[in-house]
Structure 1
Amino acid sequence: MSEPHRLSGTAIWLLGRAAQRGHQLAQERLAAAGIRKWHYAVLAAVAEYGEQSQADIGRRLGLDRSDMVAVLNDLQADGYVGREPDPADRRRNIVTISDAGRTALAGFDRLIAEADSYLLADLSATDRAQLVTLLERIAHV
């Protein structure tokens, strides 16, 4: 069943639908590995930017403070991250990624790449690169 053209003929609607499909593909693959997208995002942020406060990670990712605590509790329970009080400010926690976290992240990266490939299977390599470039411009990253 087709959607009304006033919806399907707009970039806003199509971007939303594509994002919805992409999130679903990523979530399915990550869930099979026992994590959710925010777990992956936090691991990626700590791996890329190094140890940092949990508040800084939350701001970087746009993740609410209470959700950040829940994600870190899960990641710490899995042995993927460590949290220690900041020696300079005992009210802050510094988050570090463990060796197990780096190993797990590499596996999660493969799952995300698989979802990406599946989502973009109908596009040529040139089209994929162009799409990513355009989306970066729209998202201002």
Structure 2
Amino acid sequence: MEAQDKPRLSQQFVEIMVLLHNNFGRQTQVPLPLNQFAVLCTLMDTAGMAITDISRQLNISKQQMTNIIDKLVCANYVGKEPDVKDRRRILITISDKGKRLLENHMELFRQRFDSHAQNLTEKERQELAIILRRYYDLINKMFSV
């Protein structure tokens, strides 16, 4: 195969993302609008983030992010707290209710994945586990700062 005939690495990555979305993600309904759900996912493993940092990470305008955060605050999925290091900054933190919503949704994802994994042989499941671990490690390495 000629070098120009090989799919670019970025193209393969995009194809995998689309495949996962079409065959897995879309069938597992997200319990909130996607932009709100993305904010909760972003906050899950943090002690809190400023609205500017969340908007930058998710590539959503600060004005739009303010509306998203306000809706999440009203639903008690997130809270606002002063930054102890800089009292002028407000940090957005995920609430226990927000954590429970994410945990419940992730459990649905796991159940759906496990159900579909039963279509594979034991050897194929073992191979997939190795591939996914390696994929995770490499993507993490690519995007680490």
Q: TM-score, normalised by structure 1?
A: 0.67
In 2, are the aligned partners of 1:22 and 1:115 still within 8 Å (CA)?
no
Matched, 1:107 2:104: yes
Matched, 1:131 2:119: no
Give the whole-Å Cα distance in 1 for the aligned partners of 2:73 and 2:109. 22
Say which of 12, 32, 52 aligns to 1:34: 32
In 2, are the aligned partners of 1:85 and 1:93 still within 8 Å (CA)?
yes
| RMSD, aligned α-carbons | 3.3
Give the whole-Å Cα distance in 1 for the aligned partners of 2:38 and 2:32. 14
Larger Rg: 2
The offset of 1:80, in angstroms, is: 0.6
Match of 1:3 in 2: none
Q: Stretches of 4+ moved more than 6 A in 1? A: none
In 2, are the aligned partners of 1:40 and 1:108 still within 8 Å (CA)?
no
Deviations 1:85-125 (A, max 9, x none): 66822xx4432222211211211222444576669x76521
Structure 2, gaps ≥5 residues long: none
Match of 2:62 in 1: 65
Count of matched residue positions in the alignment of Structure 1 and Structure 2: 131
Highest RCO, 1 vs 2 (Cα 8 Å, sep ≥ 6) = 1
Q: TM-score, normalised by structure 2?
A: 0.65
Task: Identify if the C-alpha distance between structure 1 residues 97 and 111 changes in structure 2 by more than 3 Å, giving closer, same or farther.
Answer: same
Report the secondary structure of 2:93's partner residue.
strand
Structure 1, gaps ≥5 residues long: 1-5
In 2, are the aligned partners of 1:8 and 1:14 still within 8 Å (CA)?
no
Match of 1:11 in 2: 9
Give the whole-Å Cα distance in 1 for the aligned partners of 2:10 and 2:29. 27
The offset of 1:135, in angstroms, is: 2.3
